[in-house]
């Protein structure tokens, strides 16, 4: 299944693109669909396109939830 991992924008790139990061993994994506994207925003990315901006609390709640799911995936 796909997972909605929020990424935080770390830098804006030319031509409507941005770079985002979570846990040292960097991803480049289009921000063409977002209104006024800013460095520091948390976004959800689908197929290389940021489809939604999340507020920080919501992003952190989702990340926390994902961590629980992933921890449940650990081999025992």
Partner 1 sequence: MSELIKGNKISIDPITRLEGHGKIEIFLDEAGDVDKAYLQLPDLRGFEKFAEGRPAEEMPQITSRICGVCPGAHHMAATKALDAMFHVEPTITARLIREVYYNLHYFEDHILHFYFLGGPDFIVGPTAPKGERNILGVIDKVGVAIGKQVIDIRHRARKLIDEIAGRAIHPVLGLPGGVSKQMTVETRDSLRIFVKDAVAFAQFTLKVFDDIVWKNPTYRDLLLGDVYRCESYYMGMVDKDGHPDYYDGDIRVVDQKGKEFLTFAPKDYAKVIAEHVEPWTYVKFPYLRDIGWKGFVDGPGSGMYRVAPAARFNVSSSMSTPLAQEQRLIYEKAFGGKIVHSVLANHWARLIEVLNNAERLEQLIEHEAFLAPEIRNMNLGTPTEGVGIVEAPRGTLIHHYTSDANGIITGANMIVASLANVAAMSMNIQSAAKAFIHKGKVDEGLLNMVEMAFRTYDPCLSCATHNLPGKMPLQVNLTQVGQPHRSLLRASDGSITESETQKEA
According to the binding rule CB under 8 A, does residue 58 interact with partner 1?
yes
What DSSP string describes 39-67?
TT-EEEEETTEEEEEE-HHHHHHHHHHHH
> Are 9 and 20 in contact, with CB atoms under 8 Å apart?
yes
According to the binding rule CB under 8 A, does residue 56 interact with partner 1?
no
Which residues are CB-neighbours of 38 under 8 A, at least 6 positions away? Answer: 9
State the binding string over 6-45 for partner 1 (x if CB under 8 A, else -).
-x-------xx-----xxxxxxxxx-xx----------xx
Binding residues (CB under 8 A) for partner 1: these are 1-5, 7, 15-16, 22-30, 32-33, 44-49, 51-52, 54, 58, 61-62, 65-74
């Amino acid at each position: 299944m796909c997972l909605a991992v929020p990424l935080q924008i770390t830098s804006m790139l030319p031509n409507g693109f941005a770079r985002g990061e979570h846990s040292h993994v960097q991803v480049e994506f289009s921000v063409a669909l977002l209104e006024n994207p800013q460095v520091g925003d948390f976004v959800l990315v689908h197929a290389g396109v940021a489809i939604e901006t999340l507020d920080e609390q919501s992003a952190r709640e989702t990340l926390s939830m994902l961590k629980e799911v992933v921890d449940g995936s650990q081999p025992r």
